[in-house]
Chain A
């Protein structure tokens, strides 16, 4: 007796079971129809549990990634939306680019990251951002003197 093994994905299995349910052989046999119906219900239940587990796994992976990441560490192809939230709030409260730059520098951001924050928040070109940085630096020096 030969045994044929099929490898199907969970999504395909659901479609196969639905097609089986519509086949004339299954429709004509109440016993077979009952078996297929139970299989569909079981498949749906497993699918929900699987999706829950996959979602938990994704959350855990993100948590581990966050815990093992140093402050300021970037992840490629993942938008860092929350990176400059604080400075966006400052801008919303009416802060100038110079004030935002000083706040960013006080928070430990280097010049390049601060310029990036300015360009992102105020939609500045590089020369405009650099101009704002030089003005802020001049003001800082004047305050220090």
Chain B
């Protein structure tokens, strides 16, 4: 069992299609970890999301934030060329 503090992200081939996808995947997975950390600290909304019976709720939430990060990055540094 993965213990607290040992959580890590593994990115598979699907995330390596292009740079923008890799960026979004990393942000997406990082959000899962941050959400879990906040839930462990007792943050009610995070706990609601990570323990929701429908796992798509958490997936949709972190994906929306990952897309937001991607748009922010592209606004600041320009679009990914690949």
Return A132 CB to nearest CB of chain B, in Å.
12
Determine if A71 and B1 form an interchain contact, defined as CB atoms under 8 angstroms apart: yes
Give B residues with C-beta under 8 Å from A.
1-2, 4, 10, 28-29, 32, 36, 39-40, 44, 47-48, 50-53, 55, 59
CB pair B29–A76 under 8 Å, yes or no, is yes
A108 sits at the interface (CB 8 A): yes
> Number of A residues whose C-beta is below 8 Å from B?
20
Contact A116 B28 (CB under 8 A): no
Q: Which of A100-145 contact B (CB under 8 A)?
A: 108-110, 112, 115-116, 119-120, 123, 126, 129
Chain A contact surface mostly: loop
Given contacts A80-B55, A116-B50, A119-B51, contact A73 B2 (CB under 8 A): yes
A4 on the interface (CB 8 Å rule)?
Answer: no
Let me know if A24 is at the binding interface, CB within 8 A.
Answer: no
Q: B52 to A119, Cβ gap below 8 A?
A: yes
User: Is A72 part of the contact surface with B, judged by Cβ < 8 Å?
Assistant: yes
Query: Does A77 belong to the interface (CB within 8 Å)?
Result: yes
Secondary structure class of chain B's binding surface, majority of residues: helix
Can you offer 27 A-B residue contacts whose CB atoms are under 8 A?
Answer: A70-B2, A71-B2, A72-B2, A73-B2, A73-B10, A74-B32, A76-B28, A76-B29, A77-B59, A79-B55, A80-B55, A109-B1, A112-B36, A112-B40, A112-B47, A112-B50, A112-B51, A115-B47, A116-B52, A116-B53, A119-B51, A119-B52, A119-B53, A123-B53, A126-B48, A126-B51, A129-B51
Residues of A within 8 A of B32 (CB): 74, 76
Contact among B2, B47, B48, B53 with A120 in the assembled complex (CB-CB below 8 Å)? B53
Q: Which residues from A are CB-within-8-Å of B48?
A: 126
| Complex: A109 Cα to B3 Cα, angstroms | 9
- Min CB gap B32→A, angstroms: 8
Q: What residue in chain B is nearest A70 (Cβ atoms)?
A: B2
Query: Which one of B2, B50, B55 has the highest number of Cβ atoms from chain A below 10 Å of its Cβ?
Result: B55
Question: Is the pair B39, A112 in contact by a Cβ cutoff of 8 Å?
Answer: yes
Question: How far in angstroms is the closest Cβ of chain B from A84?
Answer: 10
B9 — nearest CB in chain A belongs to which residue? Answer: A76
